[in-house]
Chain A
Amino acid sequence: MIEVQHLTKRYGRVTAVDDVSFRVERGEILGFLGPNGAGKSTTMRILSGYMPATEGRATVAGFDVFDKPIDAKRRIGYLPETPPLYPDMTVREYLDFVARIKGVASKEKKERVAAVMMRTHIADMADRHCGKLSKGYKQRVGLAQALIHNPDVLILDEPTAGLDPKQIIETRELIRGLAGDHTIVLSTHILPEVAQTCQRVVIINKGRVVAVDTPDNLTARLKGAETMYVQVDAEGADAGATLGALPGVMRVAAAEQRGTIAGFEVESERGTDIRRDIARAVVNRGWGLLELRPMRMSLEEIFLQVTTEELPTEKLDGSGLEVPPGLSDPGPSDPQTHGPSDPNHA
């Protein structure tokens, strides 16, 4: 549905997008993830036909966005970073105008306007002026605008920016509901959003694609060494030494200690599953196994990892990937860590 090949955009000497290539299949939701200024918006603007690329090609629904801009634009719904609203128009007038310039037939216009207002939950604001709407409603009118001509491809630049949590959930549901009929590319710098809405993620940093994969695979790829969280009631015995002696275990770190209950992070070689061995060792000694689960890195950590300067990206593909200390050894008090690594704190 969307094919981007070696896209490069330079502003003078600054390269905003550098040799970006990716594909999006029909009905897929692709997430564009990257810090501010990574080149997400620029890529999306090129895809939407707003600006041409310096080099490279982009094809949407079979039409090259540079050579056949009108045909391509007919099939694209685009929501820019700031919803492009005319403050003096009412929501209905605005959508009516957009429908006209997007080439919706005059007979279907009224019906389409009503349908998208229903779908984006803005029907109650139909006669309000766009300039008087709250940020959340503006964003939704922007989304309605992108949907009005029922395009094959939706390009949404930060669709949930500025919404409150309830609206964010609604918008994500709406976007998920649109997949299938529509092919969607959305950008965000909020990580859970990608995991929740997208089937595939393109991570982009400094204009370059750092990784393209499913959220699950990305997590797996970045995992490197497997880390298990083990909590045992060892009744005063040195459980850490026992765990460290198991075959395949590389390192054991004490994560917490409460009375006789101790928590450990057990790192093993990639590809070896040591859960059975751990369970057997604990049970054989008559201790209580309270918890045993793999510690997967959240996307947020992956993101930090792939987009942090100090970490060369080659490590991503190398099999001997090492989890940086800050991520593999999170102390319970470390504010950077999230749920999985800090089970008893909450």
Chain B
Amino acid sequence: MRNVIAIADKELRSYFASPIGYVLVGFFALLFGYFFYVYLGFFIRSSEQMMQQGGGAPNVNQDMIGGLLQNAAVIILFALPMITMRTYSEEKRSGTIELLLTSPVTDMQIILGKFIGAMGLYASMLAVTLLYIAILFLLGKPEWRPIATGYLGLLLMGGCFISVGLLISSLTKNQIVAGFMTFVVFLLLWVINWVGESSSPTTREIVNYLSVTEHLNDFVRGILDTKHIVYYLSFITFGLFLTAKSVDSERWRG
């Protein structure tokens, strides 16, 4: 565990020693802020309309925060390859991988350290956006539980992406290749359910189950379903396991 923390700490520092950490946190906050602004405007207009028509007030959680978090997932899809692309590629290119692999640490400790480091940066990206949510709490009374599950869902979904990103980064020396490949794979994982829409119900169900973003919907709605948690956790475990295999086979190939 000590080793895992040492590596996670080093990873997290290296994100903030270069501009990449600040750029990601900053731009994510900016884009999230833009979506927040758009959704807020939309929410205000629709609530005015509904008031005039004599209906009840719309729900902040359902009509605004839900959509906002769904959109955040898309930004995350673009941002995470930039976190993971350098994790292994850069170590391989600069030769520092020799230091890690000749130190008394196991491959899994290195991988977990890198995973936790990347999750740390991702979590700080999400943490900054809580400021916007805080504004809603100042002005109104949103339910906090669906927000909490929504963020948990985002965190788990990001974990899946990061584990895939680590795997791809461990396959190449070139971070640009790693970044691009990761992005393509993320995109596929995101749009895989489009296939389902025009096919038989069975296929649709299978494809929906495989889609990483599909599982986010319940979290955003405030539903905490073990089915989705199990899906995400097993996805992450599988990704990290494959990364371990990739690192090990790299070692044999030399």
Q: Is the CB of A102 closer than 8 A to any CB of chain B?
A: yes
Q: Is the CB of A343 closer than 8 A to any CB of chain B?
A: no
Q: Given the known A-B contacts A51-B251, A88-B17, are A103 and B104 also in contact in the complex, defined by CB atoms under 8 Å?
A: yes
- The answer to whether A50 and B7 touch across the interface, beta carbons within 8 angstroms, is no
- The answer to whether B103 and A101 touch across the interface, beta carbons within 8 angstroms, is yes
Size of the chain B interface, CB-CB below 8 angstroms: 27
**In the complex, what residues of A have CB within 8 A of residue B45's CB?**
none
- The answer to whether B102 and A145 touch across the interface, beta carbons within 8 angstroms, is no
Report A80-97 residues with CB < 8 Å from chain B CB: 80-89, 93, 97
Complex: A7 Cα to B3 Cα, angstroms: 31
Query: Which of B13, B98, B105 has the most A CB atoms < 10 Å from its CB?
Result: B98
- The answer to whether B102 and A85 touch across the interface, beta carbons within 8 angstroms, is no
Complex: A50 Cα to B252 Cα, angstroms: 10
For A80, the closest partner residue in chain B by CB is B98
Q: Which of A11, A86, A145 contacts B14 (CB 8 A)?
A: A86
Binary contact readout A134-175 vs B (1 if CB under 8 angstroms, 0 otherwise): 000000000001000000000000000000000000000000
- The answer to whether B104 and A70 touch across the interface, beta carbons within 8 angstroms, is yes
**In the complex, what residues of A have CB within 8 A of residue B95's CB?**
80-84
- The answer to whether A74 and B94 touch across the interface, beta carbons within 8 angstroms, is no
- The answer to whether A102 and B104 touch across the interface, beta carbons within 8 angstroms, is yes
Q: How many A-B residue pairs have CB under 8 A?
A: 81
Complex: A84 Cα to B10 Cα, angstroms: 14
Complex: A80 Cα to B101 Cα, angstroms: 11
**In the complex, what residues of A have CB within 8 A of residue B106's CB?**
70
**In the complex, what residues of A have CB within 8 A of residue B251's CB?**
50-52
**In the complex, what residues of B have CB within 8 A of residue A252's CB?**
none
Report B215-254 residues with CB < 8 Å from chain A CB: 251-254
Complex: A81 Cα to B18 Cα, angstroms: 26
Q: Is the CB of B49 closer than 8 A to any CB of chain A?
A: no
Binary contact readout B82-103 vs A (1 if CB under 8 angstroms, 0 otherwise): 0000000000001111111111
- The answer to whether B103 and A89 touch across the interface, beta carbons within 8 angstroms, is no
A216, chain B: closest CB distance, angstroms:
33
Which are the 9 A-B pairs with shortest beta-carbon distances? A88-B17, A84-B99, A100-B6, A73-B104, A84-B96, A80-B98, A74-B104, A48-B102, A82-B95
Chain B residues close to A by CB (< 8 Å): 2-3, 6-7, 9-10, 13-14, 17-18, 94-106, 251-254
Chain A residues close to B by CB (< 8 Å): 9, 11, 42, 45, 48-52, 69-71, 73-74, 76, 78, 80-89, 93, 97-98, 100-103, 145
Sample of 18 A–B contacts (CB below 8 Å): A42-B254, A48-B98, A50-B102, A50-B251, A69-B104, A70-B105, A78-B98, A80-B95, A83-B95, A84-B94, A84-B95, A84-B99, A86-B14, A88-B18, A98-B99, A100-B2, A101-B103, A101-B105
